[in-house]
Structure 1
C-alpha cells in the first residue's frame, strides 16, 4: 500500500510507510482489505482510516502473485513500507514460511498486528515499528522475497535497493519495487528485470537477483 504526496482532488500520501493505492472507486469493500488467494482467500480485514492508506488494487496483486507462484512456498518475506501489509499477507496466505513487516506509523503497525492475529498468522510473522531505512541499516537476515514500496518522490527507492544488497537478499531473491510512474529506478547491476505492471500513477517492477552483474 502506498501514500501519495497531497495533491488537489487526489488521495494524499504523507511521508510514512505504505503500499500502492488508488483513488476511491466506490467499491463495496472500501475500507477493507481482501485476501485474493491461498489459505486466507476471501478473508476481509479492516484498513485503518489514515490519509492515503489503501490496499494494493486487486488486479495488481493478482498479476504479481501469478508471477510469483513458484517462489512463494517456503519463502522468507520482507515487506518494507508495509502499510496494510497487503502484499506480505497475500504471500503468507499463499505459502510463505515467514514474513517481516516494517511500518513506522504506530497506529498502522498496531492494526497490522491485529489483522495477523485475526488470520492466525502471528506465529509466522512479526511487525517492526521502524523507519525502513533505519531497519535496513541494522543486522541483516537474508530473505527470498522483498516487497519495496517507498513513499513517492522522496528519493528513497535507490538507497533502499542498495541497502538490500548488504546481506538482506538470498542468492536468487525476488524483489518487487513500486515507484511513481515517471521514475526510472536505479537498482543494483545484478538485479534482472523479470516483469512490470503499470497502475494509475504507479509502476511496479519485479526483479530477480543474480550473483553477478549481467552484461
Structure 2
C-alpha cells in the first residue's frame, strides 16, 4: 500500500492510502498544477465533482478539500474501492459538512444509471483503455454535465487528442512529460464564448 497526500485546503497534508496495484495515481506535481489552474479559474468552490476511475480518490478528495460541495467517486476494482472508502473516512473528520459518496461501479454503468449533473469531472482511465472506450465514456458523460462544466481527461501523451463525441470540445491541453491533461467543455458553452483552446507544456 502506497501513500500520497492531499496538497491543500481544509484537509491539506492529510495522508491518503494508494492501492498497491491496478491503479495509476496522478502524480503530486500534476495534481498541484491542475488544482492551481482550477482555483485560478474559480472552478472548484461549491462545485459538484465527479471522479471517474477514481483509484485512491485523490482527485475528488482534493477538490472537496479545496471547497467543492460534493464529490462522487466511481471505482470498479474492489480493492481500490475499499482504499477510497478508507480515505473518505479520514477526510470526513476534517470536512464533516461535505458530501462524498463512493460508488462501486464501472464508469459507464454509473453514467448509464442517470442522476444529477456535475460541474467538474475528472476522467483518469487506465492508459491501456482504447480511444473508442474512452469516447464511449465521454458520450455517456455529456448529458450529465452542467452548461458550464469542465471535464479533465488524463491520458498518455503518446495517445494524442481524445476522440470526442458530439457535445464536447477541447478547451486546452497541458503536457507533463508522458502525461497530458485535456480540458474539455460542452460545445454549447464554447460556442457561447468560453476561452479558446490553448496548448501548454511542462
The offset of 1:174, in angstroms, is 0.5
Given the superposition, is the C-alpha separation of residues 150 and 55 from structure 1 closer, same or farther in structure 2, using an over 3 Å criterion?
closer
Number of corresponding residues: 184
Aligned partners of 1:161, 1:81: CA distance in 2, in Å?
13
Q: Which runs of 5+ in 2 are unaligned?
A: 193-202
> Does 2:100 correspond to 1:131?
no
Given the superposition, is the C-alpha separation of residues 212 and 67 from structure 1 closer, same or farther in structure 2, using an over 3 Å criterion?
closer
Q: Which runs of 5+ in 1 are unaligned?
A: 1-29
> Does 2:11 correspond to 1:40?
yes
Aligned partners of 1:203, 1:175: CA distance in 2, in Å?
13
Equivalent residue runs for 1:79-98 within 5 Å: 79-98=51-70
Selected match of 1:61 from 13, 28, 31: 31
Instruction: Kindly indicate whether structure 1 or structure 2 has the higher relative contact order, using CA contacts under 8 Å at least 6 residues apart.
Output: 1
- Give the SS at the match of 1:146: strand
The offset of 1:63, in angstroms, is 1.1
In 2, are the aligned partners of 1:189 and 1:214 still within 8 Å (CA)?
Answer: no
> Does 2:44 correspond to 1:72?
yes
Q: Give a deviation string over 1:80-134, Cα, whole Å, max 9, x none.
A: 0000111101100100000000000112111111111111147511000011111
Say which is worse superposed, 40-49 or 80-89, in terms of deviation.
Answer: 40-49
Selected match of 2:156 from 158, 180, 188: 180
In 2, are the aligned partners of 1:153 and 1:180 still within 8 Å (CA)?
Answer: no
Structure 2 counterpart of 1:153: 128
The offset of 1:186, in angstroms, is 1.5
Scaled by the length of structure 2, what TM-score is found?
Answer: 0.83
The offset of 1:164, in angstroms, is 1.0
- Give the SS at the match of 2:188: coil
Aligned partners of 1:212, 1:128: CA distance in 2, in Å?
29
Aligned partners of 2:188, 2:106: CA distance in 1, in Å?
28
Aligned partners of 1:131, 1:87: CA distance in 2, in Å?
17
The offset of 1:43, in angstroms, is 1.2
Whose strand proportion is higher, 1 or 2? 2
